[in-house]
Amino acid sequence: MKNIRVVLCRPSHPGNIGAAARAMKTMGITDLRLVAPERFPHKEAQWMATHAVDVLENSKTHPTLNEAIHDCTAAFALTARPREWSPQVLELRAAATRAAEYGEDIAFVFGSEDAGLTNEEMFACQTLVHIPANPEFTSLNLAQAVQVVCYELFLARGGRAPEPRKEKLATVQDLEGMYAHIEQAATVSGLMTHQSRLPERVRRLFSRVPLMEREEVNIIRGLLKALLK
């Protein structure tokens, strides 16, 4: 998401900067801006970024929020506190949906860990965003808040979890070989007699698994082969 910018205003803990970079990269966002950070660059930021050090190295530092967002089409300010005479207020999911409609650069702005955004920083943005949370405890760690926001942006842009690896499905021939193997083991063990309804019950049992993989059939037959020895 090249047009999404994450702006951290006056972050005091370098570890949060690194963790935020990692949170961003997992959701495909790489444009990180820092406004007057207390300690950056810093080794702790690199440690917490893990494999997102490139996001830190490509980040830009600005003295003021206005300089960090002056070229953006829109800016969304994150806050847990209601503000009197604030800009329009949206819950995060609605804000992410709106952000997905923009084609130009937009920013999501986060305040410092201890004080959040100042009124001046908030009014520099066009929209105030709340992350729904327990009303008795709405405080989120800075990096956690960045992760939640980036996740919602990822979903709003149609992001999906990776498809699971597709294995070859068992054929009818594979299943018939497994059934025969089970009957052989049941006969050798004395579990099945001539009058037994075991074959029908085994087929009924496996019919509840609509699509078995060939590897799963092979596991069962391998176990039966080992037991028959």
Tokens of 131: 């992350």
Q: Is 161 inside a domain boundary? A: no
- In whole angstroms, give the CA distance from residue 38 to residue 112: 10
Statement to judge: residues 21 and 133 lie in one domain: yes
145/41 same-domain check: yes
Cα 44 to Cα 28, 54, 55, 100: the distances in Å are: 22, 15, 14, 33
Residue 176 pLDDT: 94
- Domain final position from 123, 156, 189: 156
Q: Please name which of 95, 80, 66, 54 lies closest in space to residue 7, comparing C-alpha atoms.
A: 66
Domain co-membership, 69 together with 100: yes
Question: CA end-to-end span of the chain, whole Å?
Answer: 58
Separation between Cα atoms, residue 62 and residue 11, nearest integer Å: 12
Whether residues 135 and 177 share a domain: the answer is: no
Number of domains composing the chain: 2
- Whether residues 60 and 145 fall in one domain: yes
Q: Which of 93, 123, 156 is the last residue of a domain?
A: 156
Q: Are residues 188 and 80 in the same domain?
A: no
Q: What is the pLDDT of residue 193?
A: 79
Whether residue 191 is contained in a domain is answered as yes
In angstroms, rounded to a whole number, what is the distance separating the alpha carbons of residues 143 and 168?
A: 41
Predicted TM-score of the model (pTM) = 0.74
Q: Which residues of the chain have pLDDT under 50?
A: none
Q: For the segment 62-101, what is each residue's pLDDT rounded down to a tens digit?
A: 999 999 999 999 999 998 877 666 678 999 999 999 999 9
158-179: per-residue pLDDT in tens? 877 666 777 899 999 999 999 9
Q: Is residue 165 part of a domain?
A: no
Domain boundary among 113, 129, 156: 156
Range of the domain at 206: 172-228
| pLDDT for the residue numbered 103 | 84
For residue 84, what pLDDT is reported? 67
